[in-house]
Amino acid sequence: MKILLIGGTKFLGRHLVEAALAREHEVTLFNRGKYSSENFEKVEQIRGNRHSDLEKLAGRGFDAVIDTCGYLPQSVKQSAEFLKAAVGQYVFISSVSAYADFSNPDFDETAPLAELTGEQQKKADAVELTGDIPAYALGEMYGALKAQCERAAESAMPNRVLNVRSGLIVGAFDPTDRFTYWVTRVARGGRVLAPGSPHRFVQFVDVRDLSEWIVGMIERGAAGIYNVTGKPFALTMEKMLAEIKAATGSDARFVWAGEEFLERENVAPWGEMPLYLPESDAESKGFLSANIDRALKTGLSFRPLGDTIRETFRWRQTVEGDLKAGISAERESELLAKMPEQS
């Protein structure tokens, strides 16, 4: 099969390329060349901005296109409209953030989607399509815009769109470092500040498992909407940290800080303590519990967590610079000094 990737060299895109090549598909990348692609010798690469250079794809035909970097509906609409006669299937990488309500755990694909306020819509409509629109710049609008992107793709190519509502994606080349923080911090050993209840569930998916599932769905020509992340209610924070300790051979000792302590000390959930959301926050208590039954029925499978940990750790050891998420060592030490020893 011939597969076109819009993007394809940063994180998920890199793994999608590897998964597609492993199954002997032809891959073409269309992007601005902003990120390294030196390992893709067998891949055709077309340099261009998705907002101004789509004509470079004129006259080409592909079985599927994977849109890994669509954040604005006007951007996705432009791409899907241009390509609708040239591709059989449009795969849009969306997010579970597209949902409106995370107060109820185990939400499935029928749950209501987020909507923009009138002021937010004006702001989104005014964004110039320059080709450099990072997700973090969209702030609170991110989820609702992803929902609009899904609708834009479906409007252009009815019944030919695979909308992948992914959860937290982890593994090598992860630019967020949310899971990577825990891998590197636990590997360093010593007393480790651990947030909230040890029994609180977490949910994420190895980027390789997600990529292999997407390529498999392309081979089927599948369309529809799927939540794609780890199994809900299967992995606790305590078990995750214990697995990291075992996989990295660490001597870490976990010091569990309750929600009251973390709030009193102004420790930021998710930012300073990745994968942590207070259970007392009713609006977000279900965020890490997306129902994935639909994807499981189509063959979504998972490698052992230890494999994900070791691959993430190996990759991070090759990367220079500070992590982009997680509490600083100095701040953690200050907080640990206020915590009693725990057996």
SS (H, E, C) 67-121: ECCCCCHHHHHHHHHHHCCCEEEEEEEEEHHHECCCCCCCCCCCCCECCCCHHHH
Q: Whole domain around residue 134: which residue ranges?
A: 1-166
Instruction: With cut-offs at 50, 70 and 90, classify the pLDDT of residue 124.
Output: confident
Instruction: With cut-offs at 50, 70 and 90, classify the pLDDT of residue 179.
Output: very high
Determine the pLDDT at residue 39: 66
Determine the pLDDT at residue 37: 60
Range 18-44 average pLDDT: 86
Bridge partners (DSSP) of residue 91 are: 66, 162
Tell me if 251 is assigned to some domain: no
Tell me if 29 is assigned to some domain: yes
Query: Residue 20 in contact with residue 214, Cβ under 8 Å?
Result: no
Give the chain's mean pLDDT: 94
Determine the pLDDT at residue 254: 97
CA-derived radius of gyration, the chain: 21
- List all residues 6 or more positions away from 67 whose beta carbon is below 8 Å from its beta carbon: 6, 7, 76, 79, 80, 90, 91, 92, 93, 153
Tell me if 152 is assigned to some domain: yes
Tell me if 316 is assigned to some domain: no
Query: Residue 219 in contact with residue 280, Cβ under 8 Å?
Result: no
Determine the pLDDT at residue 326: 98
- Give tens-digit pLDDT for 297-318: 999 999 999 999 999 999 999 9
pTM: 0.95
pLDDT reading at 8 higher than 90: no
Pick the range with the lowest mean pLDDT from 129-143, 166-180, 233-247.
129-143
The one-letter amino acid at 83? L
Range 164-179 average pLDDT: 97
Query: Residue 328 in contact with residue 268, Cβ under 8 Å?
Result: no
Tell me if 53 is assigned to some domain: yes
Determine the pLDDT at residue 66: 98
pLDDT reading at 133 higher than 90: no
Instruction: With cut-offs at 50, 70 and 90, classify the pLDDT of residue 33.
Output: confident
Tell me if 137 is assigned to some domain: yes
- Give tens-digit pLDDT for 239-279: 999 999 999 999 999 999 999 999 999 999 999 999 999 99
Instruction: With cut-offs at 50, 70 and 90, classify the pLDDT of residue 41.
Output: confident
Determine the pLDDT at residue 117: 94
pLDDT reading at 114 higher than 90: yes
Q: How many domains does the chain have?
A: 1
Tell me if 203 is assigned to some domain: no
Tell me if 314 is assigned to some domain: no
pLDDT reading at 211 higher than 60: yes
What is the CATH classification number for the domain harbouring 65?
Answer: 3.40.50.720
